[in-house]
Structure 1
Amino acid sequence: MTTTALPGRIGIRVYGTPITQGSKTANRFGGGVRDDNAKTLKPWRNHVEAVAKDTCRYHETITGPVRIWVRFTFDRPREHYGTGRNSEVIKERFLHAQPTYKKDIDKLQRAVFDALTAAAVWADDGLVVDVRARKFYAHGHELALDEAGVDIVIEEIA
């Protein structure tokens, strides 16, 4: 966990594999709807919420408009690496690969935003008026983390 405190700006770093919010499915036995990936989503959201609460423990809950940057980093698939003595070396053709598989960036954002709301970082994620979200593989871009996780920067707009 890393914290950055600049006037009107909060930085939060959460390590772990980012999980999408998922789609809602009706409960077959009544009782409303649930996320179709609840078994993996709930621990991720709880982790983001806990780190956010700890990071923001000295901050008031934000009640005005915010700008947010989120950078998701994913572990590289095994096929991106060589074999044998090159098992830690990224193959040339994968050096600049982008994580374009099924992790929808909007669903990744939703999971993080809901966790930040639960942590009382802001009153509601409807306060977000400007967002920049990006996805990277670890060790593939200067903005990527060295391992899976998410960097979050929240800036209050006057």
Structure 2
Amino acid sequence: MPVLKKVVKTFIVRALARYHSPTEVVAMVKETYGLDVSTSQVVTYNPKTFMGRSLSREFVDLFEAERKNFLECEQEIGISQRAVRLRELDDELQRAKKRQEPRWIIKTLEAAAKEVGAYWNAPSQQQASGPIVVFNAPQVPDGVDAQCNQLQSPAEGSGDA
């Protein structure tokens, strides 16, 4: 295990506080600093784990502050913004059209409709405008309606109240 400089340790603590997995952090450290670290070494910088229980107070405080900031600043995450999600869906739709993938086009359009609320909210926003009309319904013989009504209404004097 390489000995890490404070800058790398801080980077690891912040990444873990932002809910990156240890495996993701290993890849991030490799990409950013060119260092090979193990997942077990990374886990020691998470005070919420058993292996991180002996983390210095400085890094524990940094972890807690970074986690609190991360959870409070939802607006800084692009995907949490509706406009960003719609733009990504639009980009995906354009790629699907170029590749001529009708199934993917339909799925992307459906996802966009869900995002704007048209897909899920439209049925609940509709209001009944009158009685339901059924076309091509079978004809009911005379007298059957009266028999059905008698069966559906409780018998008088049955004691049900």
Please report the TM-score for the alignment, with normalisation by the length of structure 2. 0.23
Greater helix content: 2
Max Rg structure: 2
Please report the TM-score for the alignment, with normalisation by the length of structure 1. 0.23
Higher relative contact order at CA 8 Å, sep ≥6: structure 1 or structure 2?
Answer: 1
